[in-house]
Structure 1
Amino acid sequence: MATLHHSPFCPHSRFIRLALAEMGMEPELVEERPWERRDAFLLLNPAGSTPVLVEQTGLAIPGAGIIAEYLDETRGLGLSGRRLLPDTTTARVEVRRLLHWFLVKFDTEVTEYLVTEKIYKRFMKSADGGGPPDMGAIRAARANVRYHLKYIGYLIGQRRWIAGDHLTYADLAAAAHLSCVDYLGDVPWEEDEMARDWYARLKSRPSFRAILADRAPGMAPAAHYADLDF
């Protein structure tokens, strides 16, 4: 059995948890607090970031993008029609483009601000950056999420799924990030019905059940967070 070192509200970790679940894999989960820089974890990934997938052989694969590529290389062909990275070059480029959009652009403009300021800082020591939230950062993230939501709605207006006719890594990455923001009640779903309906389809999938069960200690989710019908 593989082991996934993750943080429950790390969107990159959630992305890989969703991907593994869609592939029918049930890894052992080891929760990490990256800011604590645990020595044994740093041996697996000197960058100290989650997620890290460790195979039974001991091979450690760090980082969401690298893990996604590794899983496709080692398990993709066996998934047949459920493959999360398409077969054709053009389609793979589009999935990778959108992966970068959500794992990098959405993360730096939205998720990193909100998760750090509203969740992580509550558990971090002051020496590690803990303390009261930066409301300026939170306001910026809340403003930024609006145009990302409109972009998702635009894509879904042209396609069945974000990157095309089939569910791919792009959908899982986008949903993973939005799920963190949605837990905090900071996604203005009323502003884009297309994006909302797409997310409802995703969070109704069996792979999403564990994500919807996550809870931050002392912080309840938004009332609709685990409601499959919003």
Structure 2
Amino acid sequence: MWQLHQFPLCPFSRKVRLLLGEKGVGYELVRESPWLRRDEFLHVNPAGQTPVLIDPEQQIVLIDSQAICEYFEETVEKSATINGTAVQRAEIRRLTTWFDTQFYQDVTGPLLHERAIKRISQSSPPDAKAMRESMKAAVGHLDYTDWLLDHRTWMAGATMSLADLAAAAQISVVDYLGGIDWKGHEQTARWYRGLKSRPSFRPLLSERMEVIGPAPHYADVDF
């Protein structure tokens, strides 16, 4: 069976988990704390980042969330998440990259570092200014997702795609950390409620990170 090396609030691991859940691919979780920089993990992935997906029996090692997702798009026909015309597939990939890079850089990464990783790895308090800036950035980014969902059923078009899974992975971490004010973002909230109600999402709602618990509404599908 596949082994997914990850930690509970890694948004890129969550993206992979959502895709594997949609495609019905079984796996087991292996906890990895990349901030520890373990030699054994660095030997597998010199970048020291999660997720890493390993099949010990077939001696397959997959690294990087996008590479992992593309692998299963090519090898598992069920529930395609990069489909449509060439233009539509390009848009799915564009938005997936936007959430993985821009949204993570501006919102998820700083908030995750301040609220969780600093407390776990350094036992130090969060930087209030950095947290305010990331939460302010979240408002702007959700304004954009609201606009997208005003014009589309899903993030990249008429059907659910990898862009939706990437978005849900990032937003779910920020929501866990209490970094989203949902007032004024009903389009994105409605879309997110739909994602949260899917079987692939349920394991994420029950998982907890040490040191910091989720926002009160986090596990509520009808928040």
Normalised-by-shorter TM-score class: over 0.9
1:118-144 deviation line (CA, Å, top 9, x unaligned): 01111104xxxx522122211110110
1:109-188 paired onto structure 2 within 5 Å:
109-125=106-122, 131-188=124-181
Mapped to 2, the partners of 1:163 and 1:146 lie a distance apart of 20
Secondary structure at the counterpart of residue 113 of structure 2: helix
Residue by residue, what CA displacement relative to the aligned partner does 1:43-66 show, whole Å, maximum 9, x if unpaired? 221100000111241221111111
Runs of 4+ in 1 over 6 A off after TM superposition: none
Hey, what's the Cα distance between the residues in 2 that align with 1:190 and 1:10? 25
CA distance in 1, matches of 2:103, 2:68: 19
Mapped partners of 1:38, 1:147: distance in 2: 37
Q: Which has the higher relative contact order, 1 or 2, with Cα contacts under 8 A spaced 6 or more apart? A: 2
Equivalents in 1 of 2:9, 2:154: separation in Å?
24
Please list every run of 5 or more consecutive structure 1 residues that lacks an aligned counterpart in the other structure. none
Matched, 1:211 2:210: no
Q: Quick one: distance in 2 between partners of 1:26 and 1:123?
A: 30
Structure 2 residue 74 is the aligned partner of structure 1 residue 73: yes
C-alpha contact 2:73 2:82 (8 A) present in aligned 1: yes
Higher mean C-alpha deviation, range 196-205 or range 86-95: 86-95
SS at match of 1:123: helix
C-alpha contact (below 8 Å) 2:119/2:211 kept by paired residues = no
Identity of aligned pairs, percent? Answer: 45
Residue 45 of structure 2 is matched in structure 1 by: 45
Q: Distance in 1 between matches of 2:16 and 2:2?
A: 13
Per-residue deviation, 1:220: 2.4
RMSD between aligned alpha carbons?
Answer: 1.1
Q: Which residue in 2 is equivalent to 1:91?
A: 88
1:9 aligns to 2:6 (yes or no)? no
Question: TM (normalized to structure 2)?
Answer: 0.96
In structure 2, the partner of 1:25 is 25
Match of 1:225 in 2: 218
Instruction: Report how many aligned residue pairs link the two structures.
Output: 222
